[in-house]
């Protein structure tokens, strides 16, 4: 069985969706059950109906949308994309309802026919499907961590937190954009960020945001440090890109490379904005990480990490850290001790 962090996350989402669907559908099913039906059969029918509808839909969202067909579907104009998805949802909902009624037909000793309660049940199923679809789309758009924070109001008031930051910046993006043109470069950037997202899922990081050709990944508190996954994350992203080298060369004639920087410390997190709200991080920690990323090019190293983070993290067995001269950071009185990360089997 696949026990990667990404696989565990997917299974957790599936369990949550199925449990919530079963509970809500059971409650609704008890309200629209045929007259004279036993309470337990009404609840059971609702739960079964919810599971039969939710299972293929959640599988479609988590696994189906990652297939080549799903990728093409996402590139459709938004009205067409949503229209195709809702048509699929409608087929699943109607099919699940008919199958459920056939399963429970013998318990009610009534013919399978369309009545007002059947219509209400289908309408309810459509609203539930639309709700889950909206949640998945918002989670994909904002990031699941950000969506959860906004819904719970975690950052309505600014709060100090310990965060680890990983900044990943594509090399020679200007040259690639000039050679490929803006449209093809956008496709390259999208594929690049998809591989970075894969690494984030495998290393249990949150993607805070994309800024131009740069991705900002975060871990809270000691997550990512105790097991060294934050230090491994840039190399997981590099492996994901290398695994798709042939596709990159075929589509763009180039394989993207990147520089990365890691730092940790205290920041202040809070919601910001009026017409458009988002969770933003403010503080010296993120500024130092950005300065490290700038320094990576100057020192000719692909992955830089602060000594402060190295002291708190477990260095994975396949990595080595080479100490570098200290780095002067504007606004800090003392120079910053840094190191370069590389794999042990890479050339020095």
Is the distance from CB of 255 to CB of 241 less than 8 angstroms? yes
What's the pLDDT score for residue 28?
75
Tokens at 60, concatenated: 């479609």
CA angle centred on 86, ends 80 and 87, rounded to 5°: 90
Q: What per-residue confidence (pLDDT) applies to 273?
A: 74
| Residue-wise DSSP of 132-179 | HHHHHHHHHHH-HHHHHHHHHTTTSS-EEEEEEEEEEEETTHHHHHHH
CA distance 249 to 228: 32
Q: What is the pLDDT along the chain (348 residues), one digit of tens a residue?
A: 456 767 777 888 888 888 988 888 888 766 656 555 566 677 888 888 888 888 888 888 778 777 777 777 777 776 787 778 878 888 888 888 788 877 777 655 555 555 555 666 667 667 777 777 677 666 666 666 766 776 777 777 888 989 999 999 999 999 999 999 999 999 899 999 989 988 998 898 988 888 889 999 999 888 889 999 999 999 999 999 999 999 999 999 999 999 999 999 999 988 787 777 777 888 888 888 999 998 888 888 999 999 999 999 999 999 999 999 888 877 676 788 999 999 988 755
CA dihedral 186, 192, 193, 199 (to 10 degrees): 170
Beta bridge partners of residue 160, listed in sequence order = 268
pLDDT, position 208:
87
Domains of the chain and any CATH numbers: 5-142 (no CATH), 153-343 (3.30.70.1230)
């Amino acid at each position: 069985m696949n026990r990667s962090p990404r696989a565990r996350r997917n299974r957790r989402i599936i369990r949550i969706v199925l449990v919530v669907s079963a509970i809500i559908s059971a409650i609704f099913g008890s309200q629209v059950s045929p007259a004279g039906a036993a309470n337990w059969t009404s609840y059971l029918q609702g739960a079964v109906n919810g599971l039969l509808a939710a299972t293929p839909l959640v599988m479609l969202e988590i696994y189906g949308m990652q297939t080549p067909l799903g990728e093409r579907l996402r590139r459709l104009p938004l009205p067409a994309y949503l229209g195709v998805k809702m048509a699929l949802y409608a087929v699943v909902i109607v099919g699940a309802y008919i199958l459920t009624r056939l399963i429970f037909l013998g318990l009610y000793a009534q013919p399978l026919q369309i009545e007002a309660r059947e219509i209400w049940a289908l309408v309810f199923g459509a609203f539930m499907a639309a709700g889950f679809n909206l949640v998945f789309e918002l989670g994909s758009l904002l990031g699941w961590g950000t969506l959860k924070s906004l819904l719970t109001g975690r950052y309505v008031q600014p709060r100090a937190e310990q965060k680890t930051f990983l900044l990943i910046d594509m090399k020679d993006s200007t040259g690639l954009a000039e050679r490929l043109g803006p449209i093809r470069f956008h496709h390259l950037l999208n594929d690049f960020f998809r591989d970075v997202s894969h690494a984030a899922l495998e290393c249990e990081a949150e993607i805070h945001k994309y800024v131009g050709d740069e991705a900002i990944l975060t871990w809270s508190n000691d997550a990512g440090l105790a097991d060294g996954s934050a230090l491994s994350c840039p190399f997981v992203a590099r492996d994901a890109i290398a695994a798709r080298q042939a596709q990159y060369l075929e589509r763009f004639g180039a394989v993207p490379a990147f520089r990365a920087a890691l730092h940790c410390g205290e920041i202040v997190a809070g919601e910001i904005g009026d017409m458009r709200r988002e969770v933003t991080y403010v503080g010296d920690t993120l500024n130092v990480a950005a300065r490290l990323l700038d320094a990576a090019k100057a020192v000719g190293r692909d992955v830089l990490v602060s000594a402060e983070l190295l002291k708190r993290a477990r260095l994975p067995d396949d990595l080595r850290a080479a100490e570098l001269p200290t780095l002067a950071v504007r606004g800090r009185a003392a120079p910053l001790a840094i190191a370069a990360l590389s794999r042990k089997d890479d050339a020095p």
